[in-house]
Amino acid sequence: MKTLFIAFFCITTGLTAQKTSEIDSITYNEMKSLLNSKDYKNRVDVKNYKAINGNWLSIGDTLEIGPPSNPNSTMAGYAGGSNVATHSFIFLGTGAAALTGTSMMGNEHMTGDRAFIIEMEMARGSKKQDYEVLIHLNRLGGGRFVNIKKLARANIDQALETGEIIDPNAPMSREQAIKKLKEAKELLDIGMMEKEDFEKLKEKLEPIIMN
C-alpha cells in the first residue's frame, strides 16, 4: 500500500510539474492554439511576444500611449471639471481587476506618455477560455500616470489595433504608408510641401506600398 501511495504521489507531482508557467517567446497564433490546453498554467510569464499585427514586443521596449479609441466612453473630470474620454484597453489596477472588469480605465490625459514594458503575461480565466496578453507598463522617466497609479496595464493586441498603444519601433504597414502618402499629396496640392520633399517621401514609401 505504501509503495502504491508513493507511486501515485510521484505520478501526480510529475503531472503538476509539467504545467508551464514561463516561456521565452510566443506568437499570437501560437497562443490562440492553446485553447483547452492543460499544459500551461492560467497565468504564464512571457518575455517576447509577436502580437496580432506581426510586431515583436519584449520586456524593456518603449511604447507610447495613444488617445482613447472610443470618445463616447467617458468619466467625470478631475475636481469637478468636464468629462474626459477613457481608454477601452488600458487600465490602472491589478491584472485580476482587468479580467473581472473592475479596474479603473486609463484616460485621455495619458495620451503621449511614453512607457516601458516591465512585464508581460498570458492570462485566462480557465482552460476553456482564450489567453490574452497583458503588458505592465511603467511611465518613462518615473512619475505616475494621470497622478493616480504608478503602473498601467493593457490588453496589448486590442490596444495596438485601436491605436491606444503605439509602438514607435514597429515597421510601417501598407495601409499606414498609403495614408501618409495621401496626406503628403494633399499638402503638396495646397502648397504646404515642396515637390522635391514629396518625391523623396514617395520613393521611400513605394517599396512598402508595392510590397
Confidence (pLDDT) at 8: 46
| pLDDT of 74 strictly over 90 | no
Confidence (pLDDT) at 51: 94
Q: For the chain, what percent of residues have pLDDT higher than 70?
A: 82
CA 58 to CA 54: how far, in whole Å? 13
Q: Using the 8-state DSSP alphabet, how is residue 145 labeled?
A: B
Confidence (pLDDT) at 160: 94
Residues sharing a CB contact under 8 Å with residue 171, sequence separation 6 or more, in sequence order: 55
| pLDDT of 9 strictly over 50 | no
Distance of CA 109 to the CA centre of its chain: 18
Q: pLDDT higher for 58 or 141? A: 58
Q: Could you tell me where the DSSP H helices lie in the chain?
A: 2-17, 28-32, 95-100, 156-162, 174-189, 195-209
C-alpha cell at 26: 510566443
Q: pLDDT higher for 91 or 15? A: 91
13, 42, 80, 120 from 22: Cα distances, Å: 18, 11, 45, 10
The mean of the pLDDT values for the chain is 84
Confidence (pLDDT) at 143: 76
| pLDDT of 47 strictly over 90 | yes
Residue pair 106/65 in contact (Cβ under 8 Å)? The answer is yes
